[in-house]
Amino acid sequence: MSAPHPPRVEAAEAMSPSAATSPPRLSGTSHARTLGRGFLLKLALVAVVNALGVYVVLAAWAEGSMGILWSMVAMLVAVNYVYFSRRALPAKYILPGLLFLLTYQIYVVGYTGYVALTNYGDGHNSTKPDAIAALLIQNERRVEGSPSYPLAVVREDDDLGFAILTRDGVVRAGTAEDPLRTVEDATVEDGRITDVPGFEVVPRSEVLELSREVTALRVPVSEDAEDGSIRTQDARSGYQARSLLEYDEQADTMTNVETGVVYRPSDRGQFVAEDGSRLNVGWRVVVGAENFLTAFSDPRYSGPFLKITAWTFAFAILSVVTTFLLGLFLAMAFNDPRLRGRKIYRTLLILPYAFPGFLAALLWSGLLNRRFGFINQVILGGAEIPWLTDPTLAKLSVIGVNLWMGFPYMFLICTGALQAIPNELTEAAKIDGAGRFRMWRSITLPLLLVATAPLLISSFAFNFNNFLLIYMLTGGGPRFADASVPLGHTDILISMVYAISGVDGTGARNYGLAAALSIMIFVIVATISAIAFRRTRSLEEIN
């Protein structure tokens, strides 16, 4: 009898548990196909990023913003290197967040800090060359004895311009960038220019819509700036205007050709004469810490600044305390399992949180109206209580409305934190004979603060800069009676920054001072948050 054959290795491997449970491997073709699709998707996404980046680079080149241009070039180089290099695998995951951090956080804070060190604002909005050009244009006057020319508004590509008919019957046309030039074969009917080759004659109906642009337009007469420019007031006739000021580039002086007064540049970014008179248009210069000193030393800002700072702290602290206490009370009340319909009640309680904040603030602004508000007219029987116009009542109204808008958030986080507390702790406390208040003070509240303390800090930072509520509800009013700037009793620091910046058109623009106040707000919030987070570490021992 022959000996039995030993089992084949292939059969043993096929029957082994490891072989039976091991996942199937992709074939070489499938693996290559998967890698190919991933590479094509990456290539398409990076191509889109490159296209947007090149667009920004070209736009920055056209505007002369070299800082933005080279920053974008550096970002594009980093993106292409990281996503097409095998050596930079970890950077693939952090690069997008890092770029967004640099663009929207670090750059913004850095630029705000730079503006805070300048006199950027009304009268100092741009660079010195722009200020010189603006002064020459704003001081233009009609040349004495110059004739009036029949005029038509024309367009070359997207640029508006003028076409005039000279006394010799010659049509000359140009734009703000290109001086007047003679145009052959132009059509003139009854003393009106009807067709200009190379230009489009703008219809009268469209000219009326562009009246501001037309009256502000200046078309140079020739390459020599001394010849002045053509202007119009009615878009039918034009006249030659020339600036009363003359700029000497070599001497860097501005001279009034009528009076002979010479203006020289000062370190404050303005042309100043020997008698102290100044030209009204200046340029941005670095003034150091002057804006920070102004906030504390200038009577126009120092008094309101101290009052508003105190109210900002009071508003932020009271907002956090009131919303947290009300949210905690409701969370504990509706966390009782014996209460029926808890889901319905909880849904109703978070409805104020579901409404947009600006809409809720506007709604309450109408409800609290002194004469026509629902609260005074219906609930209080026609009373005229100045909820939003009395300084004290306005502050109480702001805190009350913020309580209505903010307690659902605290209710939600407190409910989640309460449900996360193990029942074994409370059961053990009951066995040890602890009462309800003792369990709440020694178990529930400490464990609750462990989960909610970071959120309370963020809530303080949010309310410290709660511009939306103030702007929509009171607009910062009622105004300070003794203030020369548009600031009021319910303004907080961030709304004060908005008012001083003048972007709403109610006051003079002072971007430098507004930026300085923004930096101060940033430092205050960052310092308080850092101290608070450090203090909350002690709660981790309880956990």
Say if CB 144 and CB 152 are below 8 A apart.
no
In a shared domain, residues 95 and 187: no
Residue 308 pLDDT exceeds 70:
yes
In a shared domain, residues 154 and 301: no
Burial readout 17-45 (b: 16 or more C-beta within 10 A, e: otherwise): eeeeeeeeeeeeeeeeeeeeeeeeeeeee
Say if CB 287 and CB 271 are below 8 A apart.
no
Average pLDDT, whole number, for the chain? 87
What tokens appear for 336 in the block?
Answer: 């009782």
CA–CA separation, 368 and 237 (whole Å): 55
User: pLDDT per residue over 137-154, tens digit each?
Assistant: 888 888 888 889 999 999
Segment 385-399 mean pLDDT: 95
The pLDDT value given to residue 346? 85
What's the CATH number where 322 sits? 1.10.3720.10
In a shared domain, residues 434 and 345: yes
CB atoms within 10 A of CB 524: 16
CB atoms within 10 A of CB 519: 17
Domain count, the chain: 3
The pLDDT value given to residue 18? 45
Say if CB 281 and CB 131 are below 8 A apart.
yes
- The widest CA-to-CA distance across the chain, in whole angstroms, is 137
Which domain range does residue 172 map to?
A: 142-243
Burial readout 233-263 (b: 16 or more C-beta within 10 A, e: otherwise): eebeebbbbbbebbbeeeeeebbbeeeeeeb
In a shared domain, residues 212 and 303: no
In a shared domain, residues 78 and 178: no
In a shared domain, residues 68 and 147: no
* 413: amino acid identity, one letter: I
In a shared domain, residues 161 and 106: no
What tokens appear for 439 in the block?
Answer: 């369990």
Question: In whole angstroms, how far apart are CA 68 and each of 62, 72, 75, 152, 399?
Answer: 11, 6, 10, 40, 43
User: pLDDT per residue over 102-127, tens digit each?
Assistant: 988 899 999 999 999 999 999 899 99
CA–CA separation, 338 and 332 (whole Å): 12
The pLDDT value given to residue 35? 59
In a shared domain, residues 54 and 153: no
Query: Looking at residue 286, what DSSP letter applies?
Result: B
**Secondary structure of residue 118 in the 3-state scheme:** strand
In a shared domain, residues 111 and 162: no
Nearest to 257 by CA among 287, 236, 226, 224: 226
pLDDT category of residue 33 using cuts at 50, 70 and 90: low
Segment 467-495 mean pLDDT: 91
